[in-house]
Structure 1
Amino acid sequence: MKCYICENGCAIPEGNTGACGHYKNKGEQIIELFPNKYLTVCPISIETMPVLHFYPRGKFLQISTTGCNFTCDGCISALIVEEMAPGSKALRELLPQQVVDRAINNDCIGVAFLLNDPLASFPTFLKVAELAKKQGLLVGCSSNAYFTESSLAKISGYLDFINVGVKGLSDQAYQNCGGSTVEPVLRNIKTLHEKGVHVEVSCMLKTDNMEEVVGLAEIMAQISPDIPLQLMRFIPLEGADPSLEPSIREAEDLYWRLRKYLNYIYLFNSPGTNYLNTFCPRCGEVNYKRDFYGPMGAKLTFPETVSGQKNICPKCGRTIDMKAAPAEIKYQEGAFEGGYPFTRALEMMEAILIAIGVTDKKKVVQVWEEVLCHEGLNKLHHDIQNLESYLGTIKHFGELTKTENKAEELVVFMQEKISRVKDGRSAIKRKPRVYYVMGKPLFCLKGERLENQLVEAAGGISVNKEIECTGRPGMQISVEQLNALNPEVIFISAFLSSSVEDFYEECCKAGIKVDAVKNMRIYTHIASGWDFGSPRWILGLLHIANVLQPEIYHFDVIEDAKKLYKEFYEIDFSLSDLNRSFSKPSSMWKWNKN
């Protein structure tokens, strides 16, 4: 029997399952194997989904399950798609009415399915969508939109909005993900738009697909130039090729090419860019301001618009294509809630477990289950921001996985380095003022984050702590604020970073005249994962100490990296094999197949 749900159209013999593993042929009927099982159910603001032109700042109930009909290289949701079993006890069983009740009780205006693809839980989502609509809620999802015409007809009548993730325009792009061709996706975008569903399109932007993205913009313009296009600057997670990551500058250059075709273009995964803002298509006035809010996320800032609440450009009077005015109440997500930071939380836990010798995915999932079932994400979020409590988390995870000895070895390794840094503090005569930034010059990391604790542990003064900083993982500040802080040293985050050359040029263009820029004391880390999210931050601490107090500290960081990799990852350290993953130390590291 042929599965009707997605265009892969698996031929499923009686009693067997399709390629995604979520549907079975039973009595010549396609049945869902894991109905009503949810990994996350929590309120979010819609921009974290991300959807930008539909009920801005609206509060929706996020629902996520597990699994996907695609397997995309470098997928940001790979952990819940490929590693979290659909039968895990971390998943909660909720009937459709319970989901709808939870949305209503949390004052949400709708339900949004994201993180994994609703095509992996199609009957479940269909029932929730139908019931939510009957009870006056809005309904939407993020999807690769590989719906068949049949499944799209079933769901489209209940959808109010959708973010369609396009993998590229070539057949090869879809074959790399387990599909065959882009044609069903383009067909479905057109159908959804014609049916009155609010459509936004997202596309991973890689160094090797820029012309395809231009072609996508041309096709979208033929459907409607008012469909927003979200450029997801590629983050090479898991085993993805790091060379596929375009710089923020390259992504911004492409942005201007695309503006010739579409009225609304947005650039994600690029902290500090101005291209998350909504510009008036006629006169170029900024009508809505947004900030980076974690991977693939955004957040309206205050004041969010210069046009009042009317969706009218105050400069030229053009209507801005929004489905509603922004909600007056700003919803603040909890720790690791709202869009994709949840997947980063799982990755950070996995990072510790891999470093203490856990190479069996089942044991990783057991720790995830322990943390999620006991609502431990808030504690985790707090503990990973502090050197000592991070070491305590390593020990705790060692106890949970019965790898206490390896966990103790890692703690001893890290404590020895920390002690050597502490021993040098008495010789420090002067502490430089240090600014920690992610991406572009004005995106300031929150003062309480681990990166700033590393600065102070290594003999610096964190100027980030002098800023009242909100957002996630920080916020954009003004040139005036940064100039007033006048840092002597600037560190660029090891995650979502810019090159020193691009960063310096941005500073000069923006009129940033701090001592760090004048004296070219701007630094990046040697490798990603060296200042947050992974025990490899211990290497970042040594690197920061060398930079801030060169008369005192002379750590051979590369040699220490080789020791760390050999002892705890059992592989050789090689800069050419590294990616952006917090958890996987190298593209060469592999799970135990037993």
Structure 2
Amino acid sequence: MVCKICERRCLVPDGGFGLCGRYENKAGSMRERFPNLYLVTAPISAETMPVLHFSPRAKFLQISTTGCNFDCSGCISTVVAKEMDEQSKALKSLTPQQIINKAFELKCDGIVFLMNDPLASFYTFLEVCKLAKKHNLITGCSTNGYFTPESLEELSSYIDFINIGLKGLSKEIYHTCGVKSHKPVLRNIETIYNKGIHLEIACIHKRGNEDKVLEIAKFLQQFSQNIPLQLMRFIPIDDASIEDEPSIYESEKLHQQVKEILNFVYLFNSPGTECLNTYCPTCKTLLFERDFYGPMGAKLREIKNYANGHCQVCNEKIALQGIVSKTIFDENGFEGGYPMTRALEIVEGTLACLGVKQQRDVTQCWEEILSGEGLKKLHIDIQNFDDYVATIFYLGKLVGKQEGARELIDYMKNVMHEIQEKLLHVKHKPKVYYVMGKPLFALEDDRLENQLVELAGGESVNHKLHINGRPGRKITKELLNQLNPDIIFISSFLDFPTERFYEECLKLGINVKAVEKRQIYNHIAPCFDFGSPRWILGLMYIANILHPELFHFDIEKEADNFYKKFYDKEFILADVNRSFAKPHRYHVLEM
């Protein structure tokens, strides 16, 4: 029989499975193979999901399972969609009623499905939505939108909002995800819009696809200029090339072009940008001010000049549904949204250094971390060296790689000892400001990067900020000028070209010593200061910059030695992307 859940429309023999592996033909009926099994059931705010024009600041119960009907290169949810075993012991079996009960217990306004696609667990999600409506809870999801007319019709009566990730307007780009055509998604966008379901669209900006993004904006314009478009600056992970990543500046430039077509366009994955804010389309007054809040996420910081659905300056009605929540919910650590996938990558990246090559060993460690308070503990432990060492040994013990763990720990301790020995008589400690992306997005004070500064003989001015964010938040230029750092480091996770950074500082009126003397630095490679044991290379680099009279580490040579020692591969800069898990884009685990 034909599976009518997604437009792959798999022809499934009796007792057989569809291509996604999630559904089975049982006596002429398509059944979900792994119903009611959840990897995540945790609270999340609307903007972290993200949805920006529906019930701002609302608190939802996030539900996520495993699997996907697509197979996209560079997927940020790879660990959930492709690599997590669908019968993992980390999955929790919960009935629809138990999901509803948990939503009420956590004082949530509704329930949302995200991270993997609801089409991978369609009947599970449908039953939750039906029951949620009986209890007056909001329902929504993020999806690739590859519904059949039959499945969309079945779901549409029970869902309030949908965020569709639109890959492009050509069949060729959908071929790269393993499906035939883009047309079903376009058809479904029109159907959802016509049904009055709140709709937001997300698309990826890769370097070179600017014309395709503009085509998407023009396609949406024919329905309404008020459909929010989320522009996701591409973060190359998994097997994606770093060359595909546009700079924040390039994405901001594209954002301005798209704003000439649509009223509400938002730029994600770009710390410090003003392009996450909502402005009145008529008088351009700032209404909603937001911050970067981890991959694919935002955080609503302040509401200005907006009340009762209107701009208070010109009285323009703003295309926004629902009411603004009076309470603010902040997710803890890796919980809520896509940062959890980065946490699992951190585990995988550590195991890669220990010589783990089997997916089953990685999955075993994921299962342990996802049990109880493991995720919360991991977020704390990776921020300081002693706890980090304990984490390395704990993971090594789980998979029988204690010797590899000891070897890695000894290597890291030896480097740190060498640095500490040379710093014994140092009296002057340069003041260092650590930023991610643009100049005013400061990393929160307890981040590992700031600990590296102190270990390398610097004084972290971020420790004076006492800010909360994920992984930080914007500060004012006045505060930065007051801190007056001697040196600025830009995070290697989401960096910014130093020359452009310098120009941005001048434009903003930042006149600190680091800018005056052009002491602004990027690391030589992504993920050299957080996310995997490769941060030990970042520590060497920071030491070189802070105390050039003492340290002369040849970072490329050290990186090559590290890669040969722990990955059994030479270091090739062009092969490294933003993945915490994979030391290079061609790194593949054995199944």
TM bin (shorter chain)? over 0.9
Aligned equivalent of 1:316 = 314
Residue 447 (structure 2) aligns with:
449
1:72 lines up with 2:72 in the alignment: yes
What TM-score do you get using the length of structure 2 for normalisation? 0.99
Shift of 1:380: 0.6
Residue aligning to 2:487? 489
Name the SS of the counterpart of 1:523 in structure 2: strand
C-alpha distance in structure 2 between counterparts of 1:186 and 1:441, whole Å: 39
Matched residue type, 1:6: C
1:309, 1:325 within 8 Å by CA — same for their partners in 2? no
Q: Which amino acid aligns with 1:554?
A: H
Structure-to-structure mapping, 1:321-336, within 5 angstroms? 321-336=319-334
Structure 2 residue aligned with 1:18: 18
Q: Which residue of 2 aligns with 1:530?
A: 528
Contact 1:428–1:552 under 8 Å retained in 2: no
Residue 152 of structure 1 is matched in structure 2 by: 152
Q: What letter corresponds to residue 228 of structure 2 in structure 1?
A: P
Whether the aligned pair in 2 keeps the contact of 1:309 and 1:326 (CA below 8 Å) is no
* Separation in structure 1 between the aligned mates of residue 151 and residue 306 of structure 2, nearest angstrom: 40
Greater shift in the superposed pair: 555-564 or 197-206: 555-564
Q: 1:337 Cα shift? A: 1.0
Q: Tell me, in whole angstroms, the C-alpha distance in 1 between the residues paired with 2:307 and 2:313.
A: 14
Cα distance between partner residues in 2 of 1:156 and 1:209: 32
Q: Which residue of 540, 543, 549 maps to 1:542?
A: 540
Distance 1:531 1:252 in 2: 25
The aligned residue for residue 267 of structure 2 is 267
Distance 1:496 1:458 in 2: 22
Indicate conservation of the 8 Å contact 2:492/2:523, yes or no.
yes
The Cα shift of 1:475 comes to: 0.3
Q: Distance in 1 between matches of 2:323 and 2:480?
A: 32
AA at the equivalent of 2:76? I
**Which residue in 2 is equivalent to 1:479?**
477
State the Cα deviation string for residues 433-487 of structure 1 (Å, max 9, x = none).
0000000000000111000000000011000011121111000001111111111
SS in 2 for 1:359: coil
Deviation, 1:224, is 1.1
Name the amino acid aligned to 1:440. Answer: K
Matched residues in 1 for 2:588 and 2:69: separation? 23
The range that moved more, 424-433 or 193-202, is: 424-433
Matches within 5 A, 1:458-477: 458-477=456-475
Return the letter of the residue paired with 1:219.
F
User: Contact between 1:269 and 1:296, CA under 8 Å: does it hold in 2?
Assistant: yes
- Whole-Å Cα distance in 1 between the matches of residues 372 and 362 of structure 2? 16
Matched residue, 2:200: 200
- Aligned equivalents of 1:320 and 1:427: distance in 2? 61
Spell out, residue by residue over 1:527-553, the C-alpha distance to the aligned partner (whole angstroms, 9 max, x if none).
111101100000000000000000011
Output the CA distance in 2 between the equivalents of 1:22 and 1:269.
Answer: 31
Q: Distance in 2 between matches of 1:325 and 1:108?
A: 14
- Tell me which residue corresponds to 1:341: 339
Once the 2 structures are TM-superposed, how far is the Cα of residue 241 of structure 1 from its aligned partner? 1.4
**3-state SS, counterpart of residue 167 of structure 1:** coil
- Native 8 Å contact 2:43 2:59 kept in 1: yes
Question: What is the match of residue 507 of structure 2?
Answer: 509
* Contact kept? 2:168, 2:203, Cα under 8 Å: yes
Q: Which moved more, 1:223-232 or 1:427-436?
A: 427-436
The residue type equivalent to 1:13 in the other structure is P
The equivalent of 1:233 in structure 2 is 233
1:118-517 matched pairs, under 5 angstroms: 118-301=118-301, 304-517=302-515
Whole-Å separation in 1 of the counterparts to 2:22 and 2:585: 28
What is the aligned residue count?
591
Distance 2:346 2:420 in 1: 26
> After alignment, is 250-259 or 304-313 more displaced?
304-313
The answer (yes or no) to whether the contact 2:285–2:305 under 8 Å persists in 1 is no
Higher mean C-alpha deviation, range 157-166 or range 307-316? 307-316
Q: Report the alpha carbon displacement of residue 379 of structure 1 after superposing the two structures with TM.
A: 1.0
Identity of aligned residues (%): 52
Distance of 1:552 and 1:570 partners within structure 2 = 30
SS at match of 1:426: coil
Aligned-partner residue type, residue 411 of structure 1: I
Measured on the aligned residues, the alpha-carbon RMSD in Å equals 0.9
**SS at structure 1 position matched to 2:222:** helix
Alpha-carbon offset, residue 351 of structure 1:
0.8
8 A contact 2:358–2:590 mirrored in 1: yes
Establish whether residue 94 from structure 1 lines up as the match of residue 94 from structure 2: yes
Using the size of structure 1 for normalisation, the TM-score is: 0.98
Runs of 4 or more, structure 1, over 6 Å off, are: none
C-alpha distance in 2, partners of 1:13/1:532? 48
Distance 1:29 1:283 in 2: 56
Deviates more, 1:554-563 or 1:518-527: 554-563
Deviates more, 1:310-319 or 1:349-358: 310-319
Q: Distance in 2 between matches of 1:141 and 1:95?
A: 19
Query: Is the 8 Å Cα contact of residues 427 and 552 (structure 1) preserved in structure 2?
Result: no
Q: Which amino acid aligns with 2:65?
A: T
Moved more, 364-373 or 272-281: 364-373
Query: Conserved in 1, the CA contact under 8 Å of 2:286 and 2:305?
Result: no
Q: 3-state SS of the aligned residue for 1:282?
A: coil
Deviation at 1:588, TM superposition (A): 2.5
Shift of 1:308: 4.7
Bigger Cα displacement from structure 2, 388-397 vs 61-70? 388-397
Q: What residue number does 1:62 align with?
A: 62
On the 8 A contact 1:40/1:62 being kept in 2, the answer is yes
Give the AA of the match of 2:194.
E
Question: Do 2:434 and 2:488's aligned partners in 1 also have CA atoms closer than 8 Å?
Answer: yes
Give the aligned partner of residue 556 of structure 1: 554
Matched residue SS, 2:18: coil
Shift of 1:338: 1.4
